[in-house]
C-alpha cells in the first residue's frame, strides 16, 4: 500500500493525496483521494469538482466513485469537460489540457448549502486493481467557486489545471521488526503474568510500524500458519502464547512440567525463535535466550 501527495498551484492552492487501499470484500486495490483547499495565498474556496486523465484509457468504463460529498461523476475517454453545468472546465484549462477521462463533483453550487474545503472519495474499478501509476504524469483539473478572502465577499471562481508528478508514493505497508526476550530455564506460563521484552515493552507489536508511524493492527499469524490465541513451539523448544494484540507469555516447560532446557548448566544459554505475522504479511522473529540455572547434565535435545 502506497500514498503520494502533490499540489495544484494557483490563486488558491489545492493539495491532492492519493492512497492505495485494499477492498476487504473484493480484494482489489482502490484509490482514496483526499482533496484539500490550502489557506496559503490569502484566499480560500469551495471545492466543486476534480477532473483527471488516466494512463490506461481502458480502465475508464470500469470506474465508480463513492464519497460523502460526491454528488455526481462522469467517465469517458477524452470526453469529460463537465459533470454538471456549474462544474464545467470550459476555457483556458480545457484549451491547454484537453478533455479529461473522468470528473467527480462535490456538494452544491456556491456556499449557500455547503462550503467544502476538504473532501475524501474512493475510486474503484469493478474489474481490476488501481494503483498510483494509473495517475502518474496525468493531467488534473479542479473547479473552485466562492473564491476570496476568508471574511470577504468570495465572489470569484477558479479553474485550475496541472500535470501530476511521477507518483512513486510512500510505502504505507505495515512492517514487523524482530524482538528479543531473555528468560530462565525454569520459566513457566503465568509465573508473573505476561512477559516483557528485553526492551521493556509488553507487546511484540510495540516496535512495528505502518506508514512511518506506529502499527495499530493485530497479529494475524504465528509460525507461518496458526492464528493468535494458541500456544506455539519454538524452533529449538519452548512454548509461546501470543494474543492478537501482541501480548505474550513464554514457558520453558511443557504441560507435563518437563523443561525443554533442563540440559543447561549454570550460565549456559540456549536460543529458540518464534515467528509472528502482522496485517499485510510482514513477518518478524521473537528470539528467546534461555539461561541455565542448574547443574543438570542432560545431554540436551537430539537432532
Per-residue pLDDT of the chain (303 residues; tens, 9 = 90+): 688 999 999 999 999 999 999 888 888 999 999 999 999 999 999 999 999 999 999 999 999 999 999 999 999 999 999 998 778 999 999 999 999 999 999 998 766 678 999 999 999 999 999 999 999 999 999 999 999 998 888 889 999 999 999 887 667 788 999 999 999 999 999 866 789 999 999 999 999 988 667 899 999 999 988 888 889 999 999 999 999 999 999 999 988 888 999 999 999 999 999 999 999 889 999 999 999 986 554 444 433
- DSSP-derived secondary structure for the chain: -EEEEEEE-SSS-EEEEEEEEE-TTT-PEEEEEEEEE---SS-EEEEEEEEE--SSGGGGGGEEEE-TTEEEEEEEEEEES-SSGGG--TTHHHHHH--EEEEEEES-SSSSS---SEEEEEEEESSS---GGGGTT-EEEEEEEEEE-TTS---EEEEEEEE------EE--EE---EEEEEETT--TTSSSS---TTS-S-TTTT-EETTEE--S-EEEETTTBPTTSEEE-BTB-EEEE-TTS-EEEESB-TTS-BTTTTPBTT-EEEEEEEEEETTS-EEEEEEEEEP-BB--------
Single out the residue in 137, 171, 205 at which a domain terminates.
171
Cβ density class 26-63: b for 16+ within 10 Å, e for less = eeebbbbbebbbbeeeebbbbbbbbbbbbeeeebbeeb
Looking at the fold, whether 162 and 178 belong to one and the same domain comes out as no
Same structural domain for residues 118 and 263?
A: no
The reply to whether 127 falls in a domain is yes
Question: Is 150 domain-assigned?
Answer: yes
pLDDT of residue 1: 67
* Shared-domain flag, residues 189 and 269: yes
Give domain status of residue 303, yes or no.
no
Q: Do 141 and 61 share a structural domain?
A: yes
Query: Is 78 found in the same domain as 21?
Result: yes
Pair (51, 122) in one structural domain: yes
Asked, for residue 299, whether it belongs to a domain, the answer is no
Residue 138 in any domain: the answer is yes
| Same-domain pairing of 80 and 46 | yes
- Output the pLDDT for position 213: 78
Domain co-membership, 203 together with 238: yes
Domain total in the chain:
2
Q: Which domain holds residue 211?
A: 174-291
Q: Is residue 121 part of a domain?
A: yes
User: Are 205 and 265 part of one and the same domain?
Assistant: yes
Cα-Cα-Cα-Cα dihedral of 61, 67, 70, 74, to 10°?
A: -10
Report yes or no on whether pTM surpasses 0.85: no
Amino acid at each position: 500500500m502506497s500514498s503520494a501527495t502533490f499540489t495544484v498551484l494557483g490563486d488558491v492552492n489545492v493539495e491532492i493525496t492519493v492512497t492505495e487501499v485494499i477492498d476487504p470484500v473484493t480484494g482489489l486495490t482502490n484509490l482514496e483521494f483526499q482533496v484539500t483547499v490550502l489557506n496559503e495565498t490569502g484566499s480560500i474556496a469551495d471545492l466543486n469538482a476534480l477532473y483527471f486523465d488516466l494512463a490506461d484509457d481502458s480502465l475508464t468504463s470500469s470506474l465508480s466513485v463513492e464519497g460523502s460529498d460526491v454528488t455526481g461523476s462522469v467517465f469517458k475517454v477524452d470526453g469529460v469537460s463537465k459533470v454538471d453545468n456549474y462544474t464545467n472546465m470550459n476555457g483556458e484549462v480545457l484549451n491547454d489540457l484537453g478533455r479529461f477521462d473522468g470528473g467527480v463533483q462535490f456538494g452544491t453550487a456556491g456556499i449557500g448549502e455547503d462550503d467544502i474545503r476538504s473532501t475524501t472519495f474512493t475510486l474503484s474499478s469493478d474489474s481490476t486493481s488501481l494503483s498510483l501509476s494509473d495517475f502518474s504524469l496525468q493531467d488534473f483539473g479542479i473547479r473552485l467557486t466562492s473564491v476570496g478572502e476568508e471574511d470577504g465577499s468570495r465572489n470569484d471562481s477558479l479553474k485550475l489545471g496541472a500535470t501530476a508528478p511521477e507518483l512513486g508514493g510512500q510505502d504505507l505497508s505495515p512492517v514487523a521488526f524482530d524482538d528479543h526476550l531473555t528468560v530462565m530455564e525454569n520459566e513457566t506460563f503465568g509465573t508473573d503474568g505476561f512477559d516483557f521484552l528485553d526492551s521493556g515493552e509488553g507487546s511484540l507489536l510495540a516496535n512495528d510500524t505502518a506508514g512511518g508511524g506506529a502499527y495499530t493492527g493485530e497479529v494475524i499469524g504465528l509460525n507461518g500458519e496458526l492464528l493468535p490465541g494458541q500456544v506455539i513451539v519454538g524452533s529449538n523448544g519452548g512454548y509461546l502464547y501470543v494474543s492478537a494484540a501482541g501480548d505474550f507469555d513464554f514457558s520453558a516447560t511443557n504441560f507435563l512440567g518437563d523443561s525443554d532446557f533442563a540440559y543447561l548448566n549454570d550460565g549456559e544459554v540456549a536460543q529458540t525463535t518464534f515467528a509472528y505475522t502482522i496485517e499485510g504479511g510482514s513477518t518478524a522473529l521473537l528470539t528467546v535466550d534461555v539461561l541455565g540455572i542448574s547443574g543438570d547434565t542432560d545431554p540436551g535435545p537430539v537432532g
